[in-house]
Amino acid sequence: MTNARTRLAQRVLLKDQHIVTRMMELASGLPDVIKLGRGDPDLDTPAHIIRAGQEALAAGATHYTNPMGLPELRQAISDNIASHGGARYAPENIVVTPGGQQAMFIIALGLLDPGDELLIPCPGYNPYLQAAELTEAKLVEIRMSMETNFTLTAEMVRAHITPRSKVLVLINPGNPTGTVIPPEEVERICEVAKEHDLIVVSDEIYARIVYGDHRAQPVAALPGMQERTITLSGVSKAYAMTGWRVGYFAGPSDLMPALAEIHHAFAISTSAVGQWAALAALTGPQECVEEIRQTFDERRRVLCAGLDALGIPYAEPEGAFYVYARVAETGVPATEFCERLLTEGQVMIFPGKIYGDYTDDFARMSLTQSVPRIEEALRRMASVVESIRQEQSVT
């Protein structure tokens, strides 16, 4: 079994990460690369949160905490979830983790047995694929397309259910697509989950970053769903705190003790200073969240206008800080386009294949640079697109 899982780990890493590794190596030798690839906000953590971390360190927050997280933080998480339309969780049913990504692996290890089926949106966030493969579960990729703006529908889910189906992942708003599942569609998906006795992992890490009239519906708040839903989130995105490494998951009381023990074995506890900073984020002034959201919204408009001018279509970005663009419209596959954009234009974006996309048509662009840098990236992109199209016209 150990050898089998080692081979699985190697296969997963090679399959999903070799493109990123190659592009990172290319970028390291190039000047002035504009990085629109990673999901790491370029914005600074708000000052009051940094100050809380500094004060916590000065007060001795350098030791293990309760394995499940600071009681004060778990209460704040419970209050925060409920105040944004989610379910009311008891603090003992919340586990604080070193980021949301580790929570994914804990959940997979706790819920999935070999042969169980994990239903995931495709394209979707690639660590879910890795977590499932490491448990020897079967991945069932539910393919989405521009026809539904890369959002999941209840009928898509229903068409993929078998007697071995066990866990359904909803990522809302979506990564890499930046799209939001309409609340009424979330309700229909949940009806399918109840009908087929599925556990739902509701990834709501970007739920505070939505645009226009869009709203990310918390799954556990819907009738009959709290007892079959694990809510996953964190402070990384809404508060620009990726480096603090504080995520969490909340779930039914019958599942949480076992999941908490897996977390304990992995990490003992999450960083004490990070937890105190997260507490300040959730309980302190919230104007910073809106300022961050507005910053991404402005960048979104600039990038989309630039793509429109280049004739590159994209899924309508309704949340998160990504634009999922069909760069194959330029005449070359997305992977080739991304590499040429990097080497010829010094702009880094990532092809959708990294996120399990079944085509090589799309690329994820992150809104993680200032407006002037995005405008410069678009100018460079225009030059590369023109070069590709000239080549296409000659051939």
Structural contact between residues 31 and 344, judged by C-beta atoms closer than 8 angstroms: no
Out of 220, 254, 283, pick the residue that ends a domain: 283
Across the chain, what does the average pLDDT equal?
94
* Cα separations in angstroms, 28 against 346, 354, 365: 11, 20, 19
Same domain, 274 and 299: no
pLDDT in the model for residue 94: 98
- Bridge partners of 167, per DSSP, are 118, 199
* Cα separations in angstroms, 43 against 241, 278, 299: 9, 16, 13
**Residue 52: band (very low, low, confident or very high) from pLDDT cuts 50, 70, 90:** very high
Domain of residue 359, residue span: 2-44+287-389
Does residue 51 fall inside a structural domain? Answer: no
**Residue 365: band (very low, low, confident or very high) from pLDDT cuts 50, 70, 90:** very high
Same domain, 363 and 297: yes
Residues of the chain above pLDDT 90, percent = 89
Q: Over range 123-149, report the average pLDDT.
A: 92
pLDDT in the model for residue 394: 76
**Residue 72: band (very low, low, confident or very high) from pLDDT cuts 50, 70, 90:** very high
pLDDT surpasses 90 at 271: yes
Q: Residues 153-172: pLDDT tens digits?
A: 999 999 999 999 999 999 99
Phi then psi dihedrals of residue 95, to 5 deg: -125, 130
Write out the two tokens for 341: 């954009």
pLDDT surpasses 50 at 7: no
- Bridge partners of 348, per DSSP, are 35
- Does residue 75 sit in helix, strand or coil? helix
Q: Over range 63-85, report the average pLDDT.
A: 97
pLDDT surpasses 90 at 325: yes
* Total tally of structural domains belonging to the chain: 2
Does residue 56 fall inside a structural domain? Answer: no
Q: The domain that contains 347 carries what CATH number?
A: 3.90.1150.10
Q: The domain that contains 187 carries what CATH number?
A: 3.40.640.10
Residue whose C-alpha is closest to residue 170's, from 197, 138, 205 = 205
Same domain, 306 and 369: yes
Q: Over range 146-151, report the average pLDDT.
A: 96
Same domain, 29 and 162: no
Same domain, 241 and 314: no
Same domain, 345 and 216: no
Same domain, 243 and 304: no
Same domain, 327 and 215: no
Q: Kindly report the pTM of this predicted structure.
A: 0.92
Same domain, 171 and 275: yes
Q: Strands 229-234 and 247-250: what pairing?
A: antiparallel
Task: Give dist(CA 226, CA 235) in Å, integer.
Answer: 22
Same domain, 231 and 276: yes
Q: Residues 198-229: pLDDT tens digits?
A: 999 999 999 999 999 999 999 999 999 999 99
Q: Over range 225-238, report the average pLDDT.
A: 98
Task: Give dist(CA 130, CA 58) in Å, integer.
Answer: 38
pLDDT surpasses 80 at 39: yes
Same domain, 175 and 261: yes
Same domain, 23 and 75: no
Does residue 311 fall inside a structural domain? Answer: yes
pLDDT surpasses 80 at 15: no
pLDDT in the model for residue 204: 98
**Residue 19: band (very low, low, confident or very high) from pLDDT cuts 50, 70, 90:** confident
**Residue 17: band (very low, low, confident or very high) from pLDDT cuts 50, 70, 90:** low
